[in-house]
Amino acid sequence: LKPPNRTFHGHLRLLSSDVYSQYESIRQGKQEIPKYFNFASDVLDKWSEIEKAGKRPSNPAFWWVSGEGEEVKWSFEELGFLSRKVANVLTKECGLQKGDKLIVILPRIPEWWLVKVACMRAGIVIIPGTSQLSAKDILYRLQASKAKCIITTDKLAPAVDSVASQCQLLKTKLMVSKGSREGWLNFTELYQNQSADHSCIKTRIQDPMVIFFTSGTTGSPKMTQHSQGSLGFRPLLSERYERVKPDTGWILTSVASFFDPWVFGSCVFIHNLPRTDSAVILNTLCRFPIDVLVGAPTLFRMLVQNDLSKYKFMNLKYCVSGGEPLNPEVMEQWKSQTGLDIHEVYGQTEMGIICCVCKGMKIKPGSMGKAAPLYDVQIVDKNANILPPGQQGEIAVRSKPIRPLGFFSEYLDNPKKTAESERGDFYVTGDRGTMDEEGYFQFIGRDDDIIISSGYRIGPFEVESALIEHPAVVETAVVSSPDPLRGEVVKAFVVLSPTFSSTDLESLTRDLQDHVKKTTAPYKYPRKVEFVKELPKTITGKIKRNELRDKEWGRM
């Protein structure tokens, strides 16, 4: 990828100057947010025009490489052409109309991006799901969302068929495949023969665009509905990314590999890996000009287990971690081995990024940065009173009088959950934390994960971060465990490093306990330690502490 030229930022403004000035007025209360917005026509097609006029660096808009070495590169114009064909498949062949719902369960193949853009063109509400879903997960999603159509690959088609009879509203099944299957339309064939004449539908900025299911870390995933403006319009207005160079290649996360890079005309780079293998990821970073790497802490924890001095990254400049707290130890190891900082982001399916460490900001290990642009983030108590710096409370985002752009519209079909998330003028995240004098937020734990032992409130993250500093610990989860005397005590589940597999576990337990007593307040040390092969995780790689906790308390 070419370095960005000087005039590039000019084009960025060219694209967004009208909305930028509009937003300034919105902020000052002089103007309302625009009535209509569609990411395909207002962003992608604009970039296509800029590209045609020769005013955009010659990077592809989309660059995809498979584990087997296949490659796909599209300009914005090609992306437009192909996604119009797909829009015709969805509207003509599948009979979908504006507002209809489509579940998309595809691996990271180019069709995923085409379908997503096509849905925007046709106003179809997209419901993304990962291809690791089981038949039961698919049934839950089909029934909960009332989707009319599903698109998936031949691998998952049998799972869909096994539950389809229980989903009366499901009308059409589309398969991305070379083969055929009874009862299924073949996406690949239909799309190749389709016309590329399609005019993008006009959508109101508040119209629904996507329904995400939350990760399901604490129970059944919840349906969070986002509007056309929520994800596509917000980054257009935030200054956050102006400081990130726009010729960015992104890897790994799906939100970060769509809206944010394309708002800035960047290249979306995808390496479709058959499985998460650290050597393949590290080699990819050496072979391709990737500037930005985005992943959950699990990814970085896995990568630092390697000897990183063997790898010379081609372009990597910026690393982002989110989804779970990042242990300071992992951040330090990564920095000392690669010279790179990890910028933390904190967010939720409900409203995208809430806090972040932006480029150029001071990094405080163990902190997830300051409030993201457009959000007023505070620590509040049970009555929605704002707490002063240093005091522990619930992380909350101001949602009244105006619900900020970027917020989900509601939990679909769940007014009770929606109401529970509101407290006074705030939306409460369900996470506990503190804010320091400089406005940096510290994550303490999910509300339910807090351990109360002999009257002390203990956040699992701090104990986990202390444990992971010990060379024997690869990964750990800390939960409460019943205790006749103290009510509950701290218990650590520990995944051991292979080099410690033959160590005497009793003395290692004492060693770990001493280590925690030295690094944090002694009362936080884990009175119980259990060594395990792996930790229960969600599909997105988050530790399911509630599962471990339920087991401890005999609730399973």
What whole-number distance in Å separates Cα of residue 126 and Cα of residue 508?
50
Residue with smaller CB distance to ligand ATP, 246 or 323: 323
**222 contact choice in ligand ATP, Mg ion, none (CB below 5 to 8 Å, kind-dependent):** ligand ATP
Residue with tokens 């994960």: 449
Residue with smaller CB distance to ligand ATP, 51 or 431: 431
Closest CA to 138 of 159, 124, 154: 159
**100 contact choice in ligand ATP, Mg ion, none (CB below 5 to 8 Å, kind-dependent):** none
Closest CA to 286 of 278, 294, 296, 295: 278
Residue 383 CB, shortest distance to ligand ATP, in Å, is 21
Of residues 370, 542, 545, 549, which one binds ligand ATP by CB under 6 A? Answer: 542
431 sits near ligand ATP (criterion: CB under 6 A): yes
346 sits near ligand ATP (criterion: CB under 6 A): yes
**216 contact choice in ligand ATP, Mg ion, none (CB below 5 to 8 Å, kind-dependent):** ligand ATP
3-state secondary structure of 529: strand
Residue 348 CB, shortest distance to Mg ion, in Å, is 6
464 sits near ligand ATP (criterion: CB under 6 A): no
Residue 123 CB, shortest distance to ligand ATP, in Å, is 25
48 sits near ligand ATP (criterion: CB under 6 A): no
Neighbour-count burial for 196-230, b at 16+ CB within 10 Å, e otherwise: eebebbebebbbbbbbbbbbbbbeebbbbbbbbbb
**429 contact choice in Mg ion, ligand ATP, none (CB below 5 to 8 Å, kind-dependent):** ligand ATP
Helices and strands (H and E) in the chain: how many: 18, 26
- The interface region with ligand ATP, picked from 63-71, 117-125, 270-278, 347-355 by CB under 6 A, is 347-355
324 sits near ligand ATP (criterion: CB under 6 A): yes
Closest CA to 403 of 416, 422, 387: 422
What whole-number distance in Å separates Cα of residue 187 and Cα of residue 180?
10
- The interface region with ligand ATP, picked from 89-97, 141-149, 322-330, 464-472 by CB under 6 A, is 322-330
Residue 139 CB, shortest distance to ligand ATP, in Å, is 18
**368 contact choice in Mg ion, ligand ATP, none (CB below 5 to 8 Å, kind-dependent):** ligand ATP
Residue with smaller CB distance to Mg ion, 224 or 378: 224
Cβ(181)–Cβ(132) under 8 Å?
A: no
111 to 115, 176, 231, 458, 498: CA distances (angstroms): 6, 8, 20, 46, 40
375 sits near ligand ATP (criterion: CB under 6 A): no
Residue with smaller CB distance to ligand ATP, 269 or 426: 426
What whole-number distance in Å separates Cα of residue 247 and Cα of residue 270?
14
421 sits near ligand ATP (criterion: CB under 6 A): no
298 sits near ligand ATP (criterion: CB under 6 A): no
What whole-number distance in Å separates Cα of residue 230 and Cα of residue 242?
19
366 sits near ligand ATP (criterion: CB under 6 A): no
329 sits near ligand ATP (criterion: CB under 6 A): no
Cβ(183)–Cβ(152) under 8 Å?
A: no
The number of residues that bind Mg ion (CB under 5 A) is: 1
DSSP string, 63-96: EEEETTS-EEEE-HHHHHHHHHHHHHIIIIIS--
What whole-number distance in Å separates Cα of residue 309 and Cα of residue 303?
12
Residue 236 CB, shortest distance to ligand ATP, in Å, is 22
Restricted to residues 434-453, the positions that interact with ligand ATP (CB under 6 A) are: 443, 446
462 sits near ligand ATP (criterion: CB under 6 A): no
Cβ(256)–Cβ(262) under 8 Å?
A: no
Residue 459 CB, shortest distance to ligand ATP, in Å, is 11
What whole-number distance in Å separates Cα of residue 332 and Cα of residue 359?
18
**443 contact choice in ligand ATP, Mg ion, none (CB below 5 to 8 Å, kind-dependent):** ligand ATP
349 sits near ligand ATP (criterion: CB under 6 A): yes
Residue 336 CB, shortest distance to ligand ATP, in Å, is 21
327 sits near ligand ATP (criterion: CB under 6 A): no
Name every residue whose Cβ is closer than 8 Å to that of residue 226 and which is 6 or more positions away in sequence.
208, 209, 210, 211, 212, 408, 409
The number of residues that bind ligand ATP (CB under 6 A) is: 25
What whole-number distance in Å separates Cα of residue 249 and Cα of residue 63?
9
Cβ(337)–Cβ(308) under 8 Å?
A: yes
Of residues 214, 248, 367, 378, which one binds ligand ATP by CB under 6 A? Answer: 214
What whole-number distance in Å separates Cα of residue 189 and Cα of residue 194?
9
Cβ(224)–Cβ(349) under 8 Å?
A: yes
The sign of the torsion formed by the CA atoms of 363, 369, 372, 376 equals negative
230 sits near ligand ATP (criterion: CB under 6 A): no
163 sits near ligand ATP (criterion: CB under 6 A): no
- Cα 296 to its chain centre, rounded Å, is 8
Restricted to residues 206-225, the positions that interact with Mg ion (CB under 5 A) are: 214
Residue 385 CB, shortest distance to ligand ATP, in Å, is 21
Binding residues (CB under 5 A) for Mg ion: these are 214
Binding residues (CB under 6 A) for ligand ATP: these are 214-219, 221-222, 322-325, 344-349, 368, 429-431, 443, 446, 542
